[in-house]
């Protein structure tokens, strides 16, 4: 029974002025990061479309340009989806703190949780492919 009371007390945590200030600051920086990422994605798309390929004419140049645009577009789509959750966290958490709205604050933290989960999954995928690439390089060097 005592354990249940401790758990209930844990989830009835009140947010004091210091915590409010910290959450407000975190939300401001999260918004700055998300907006900077969105601007960076826009610049990447423009650079991919307007940039020159090594070969100026012919089928190889067209194919190289198309693959460059496609890979940039895939990266931009993934980045935008990820950073939308960070931006939603920033907006919802700031509103929740400023207007004492528990639901919006929880929604903000839920978006932050999703953002961190996606980053974790992508990190694991990149690490697995990196290890596989190193193993292939190692096996290729022995042949």
Burial profile 89-125: b = 16 or more Cβ within 10 angstroms, e = fewer:
bbbbbbebbeeeeeebbebbeebbebbeebeeeeeee
Query: Is residue 11 over pLDDT 90?
Result: no
Question: Which of 114, 115, 91, 112 has its CA nearest to residue 27?
Answer: 91
Q: What is the pLDDT of residues 71-119, one digit of tens each?
A: 999 999 999 999 999 999 999 999 999 999 999 999 999 999 999 999 9
Residue 77 maps to a domain: yes
Q: Which domain holds residue 109?
A: 17-116
Residue 108 maps to a domain: yes
Residue 9 maps to a domain: no
Q: Write the Ramachandran bin of 58: left for phi over 0, alpha for psi from -120 to 50, otherwise beta.
A: left
Tell me if 28 sits within 8 A of 94, measured CB to CB.
yes
pTM: 0.80
Q: What is the pLDDT of residues 33-61, one digit of tens each?
A: 999 999 999 999 999 888 765 555 555 56
Question: Which of 70, 82, 69 has its CA nearest to residue 38?
Answer: 82
Confidence of residue 1 (pLDDT cuts 50, 70, 90): low
Number of independent structural domains in the chain: 1
Residue 28 maps to a domain: yes
Residue 6 maps to a domain: no
The pLDDT, as a whole number, for residue 15 is: 83
Residue 42 maps to a domain: yes
Residue 2 maps to a domain: no
The CA distance from 143 to 140, in Å, is: 6
């Amino acid at each position: 029974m005592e354990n249940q009371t401790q758990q209930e007390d844990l989830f009835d945590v009140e947010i004091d002025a210091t915590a409010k200030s910290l959450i407000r600051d975190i939300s401001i920086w999260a918004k700055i990061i998300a907006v900077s990422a969105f601007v960076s994605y826009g610049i990447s798309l423009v650079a991919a479309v307007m940039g020159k390929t090594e070969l100026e004419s012919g089928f190889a140049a067209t194919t190289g340009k198309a693959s460059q645009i496609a890979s940039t577009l895939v990266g931009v789509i993934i980045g935008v989806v990820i950073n939308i959750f960070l931006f939603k966290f920033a907006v919802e958490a700031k509103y929740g703190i400023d207007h004492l709205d528990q639901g919006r604050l929880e929604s903000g933290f839920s978006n932050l949780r999703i953002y961190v989960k996606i980053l974790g999954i992508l990190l694991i995928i990149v690490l697995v492919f990196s290890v596989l690439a190193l193993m292939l390089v190692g096996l290729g060097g022995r042949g």
